[in-house]
Amino acid sequence: MAPSFGRSISFQLSPARAITRPRAAAAGHVRSISLPPCRSHSHPLLAHLQAQTAAARAWATSASTSPSTGLALIDALHAALAELLLLPEPQTLVRRACASSDRLLDAFLLLADAHRGFQESLLALRRDAADARAALRRRDAARLASAARAQRRAEKDLARLAAAVSSSVARSARLAALGSATATAEEAEMAAALMDAAAASAAASAAVFSAVASVSAATSSSKKAATTFAAAFAKKPETADVAPEKLEELERCIDECESGSEVVFRSIVRTRVSLLNIRTPAI
């Protein structure tokens, strides 16, 4: 059963990557990485975050069933967000708009907890797949049915995680923009980028959870299906090739997602830690 979302998170995190400031070719000084005064020429880091946000959102709304690709896109989005949060403009924005930044912190906490629950669901699915494989090898219909029931429970946990994260997308869309009514055009663009990144990360995460649940459901959808297959297997052993192929597909999916899910979990927590550090800078 996936854990509830009220958990706190505490472990050592590696610091965000430093940004190398390029030297001007003609001038003999270092160029500022602050946002330029003209909104029509967005800072490259802001444009990069917007591009990563669009990529994650496009994957989430596509018919793709490759959860490992989704995890890689979420990680890339948070890497871009971490770089942007090193700029002075978003830091000022986060400090000034306390209520909205609090909601961002809550959203990333929910996402981190959801990805931790996702990792636990992957472990459960791996165990269930191993049980199903053993049951097939021994032609044990009862054990196969039991493995199928356990697998369905893990799939339901994944569906609940996806629903919880999807609801956070709707809440994020309703959040008031960071900043104030007197915000400049650059501040408004920055605020929109931060909110869009949070919403896209949640949408892609929900799609990842749903994709894994779909792969799992293809191996054994119910006790009745599992029992029926086992009975057929006992009569016609050549039909055994069907289930092992599906189990192998599920195990490949789990293998691809396990390392990616840990990377994404840490990326999300780093984002939240960065926001907290901005809100409460060290004295």
* Domain region containing 85: 67-279
pLDDT at 75: 96
**Could you tell me if residue 213 is inside a domain?**
yes
Whether the Cβ atoms of residue 247 and residue 132 lie closer than 8 Å to each other: yes
Number of domains in the chain: 1
DSSP 4: P
* pLDDT tens figures, 208-261: 999 999 988 887 554 445 555 555 555 554 444 446 778 888 899 999 999 899
**Could you tell me if residue 273 is inside a domain?**
yes
pLDDT at 57: 93
Neighbouring CB atoms inside 10 A of 236's CB total: 9
Whether the per-residue pLDDT at 282 is higher than 90: the answer is no
Q: In this prediction, what percent of the chain has a pLDDT beyond 70?
A: 70
Overall pTM > 0.85? no
Which tops the pLDDT comparison, 221 or 26? 221
Pair of tokens at residue 201: 């990360």
Which tops the pLDDT comparison, 9 or 129? 129
Q: In this prediction, what percent of the chain has a pLDDT beyond 90?
A: 39
Highest average pLDDT, of 20-24, 74-78, 232-236, comes from 74-78
Q: State the chain's mean pLDDT as an integer.
A: 77
**Could you tell me if residue 61 is inside a domain?**
no
Contacts of 144 (CB under 8 A, 6+ apart): 132, 135, 136, 220, 226, 227, 229, 230
pLDDT at 12: 39
Report, as an integer, the average pLDDT of 44-68: 90
Whether the per-residue pLDDT at 184 is higher than 80: the answer is no
pLDDT at 6: 46
Neighbouring CB atoms inside 10 A of 73's CB total: 24
**Could you tell me if residue 39 is inside a domain?**
no
pLDDT at 142: 84
pLDDT at 95: 86
Segment among 36-45, 180-189, 241-250 with least mean pLDDT: 36-45
Highest average pLDDT, of 66-75, 128-137, 139-148, comes from 66-75
pLDDT band, residue 47 (cuts 50/70/90): very high
**Could you tell me if residue 271 is inside a domain?**
yes
**Could you tell me if residue 41 is inside a domain?**
no
pLDDT at 126: 93
Pair of tokens at residue 28: 């003999």
- 181 burial (CB, 10 Å; 0-12 / 13-18 / 19+) is exposed
**Could you tell me if residue 265 is inside a domain?**
yes
